[in-house]
Structure 1
Amino acid sequence: MNLLDQHCIHGAAARDPAAIRARLAEVPDWQAIDGTIAREYRFPDYRATIAFVNAIADMAEAENHHPELTVAWLRCTVAYTTHSAGGALSDNDFICAARADAIYKAVHE
């Protein structure tokens, strides 16, 4: 099932390394780093960066799965991990990564 057709579930289980590699193929601009997946997004101006951050916040609230956001001049880094899975990666992280990519694509088309 496509990641965008799924929603986060409470208590999602940690994924094993093979499953993480398979899921990363579905969100190719993301990298696995120290138990998280992360991606940096670039923007033409600061207002566009903040608009993206606000859209991510709305999505995170709707999915009840919240990323770490690092906001800087013309860029935002989004990082996910699942605390309830012991700080490991779960399907929730990949679902939200795909949703973040869709939000970014929508504002850049």
Structure 2
Amino acid sequence: MPRPPRLSPDDVAAALRDLPLWSGGADGIERTLELPSFRAAVEAISVIADAAELMDHHPDMDLRWRKVRVATVSHSEGGLTELDLDLARRVDALYPAS
């Protein structure tokens, strides 16, 4: 199945207006979740991993005690694509605010 093309910087800027918890640009976006405990942060990684597997699109995730940094970019396209935005929306649906 073909992957979606890289988004223009203008398209990314417009999309980020609807993703206020995310920052970045055409080279990738990220969000940091702050969970109530270390165990909850570990669980969040597992939940996000399950969503990513269903999409076959995998973010980078870093765990620091109660914080999980989620970063996404389509390496094969050299920047942000609609897949990355879809993943960001799924993360926001799972963790609306932190």
Please indicate, yes or no, whether the TM-score normalized by the shorter chain is above 0.5: yes
Q: TM-score, normalised by structure 1?
A: 0.83
Q: Letter of the aligned partner of 2:21 in structure 1?
A: D
**The one of 49, 61, 66 aligned to 2:53:** 61
- Find runs of 4+ consecutive structure 1 residues off by over 6 angstroms: none
1:12 and 1:84 in contact (8 A); partners too: no
Deviations 1:47-97 (A, max 9, x none): 1101110000000000000000001101000000001212x0011111100
Identity within the alignment, %: 33
Q: Give the TM-score, by structure 2 length.
A: 0.92
SS in 1 for 2:63: strand
- Is the 1:31–1:37 Cα contact (8 Å) retained in structure 2? yes
Cα root mean square deviation, aligned:
1.8
Q: Which residue of 2 aligns with 1:4?
A: none
| Aligned match for 1:47, one of 25, 35, 39 | 39
Paired residues, number: 98
Specify the alignment match of 1:84 in structure 2: 76
From 8, 12, 24, the equivalent of 1:16 is 8
Asked if the contact 2:12–2:26 (Cα under 8 Å) also holds between the matched residues in 1, the reply is no
Alignment of 1:64-75 (within 5 A): 64-75=56-67
Instruction: Give the AA of the match of 1:21.
Output: A
Please list every run of 5 or more consecutive structure 2 residues that lacks an aligned counterpart in the other structure.
none
2: CA distance, partners of 1:74 / 1:10: 37
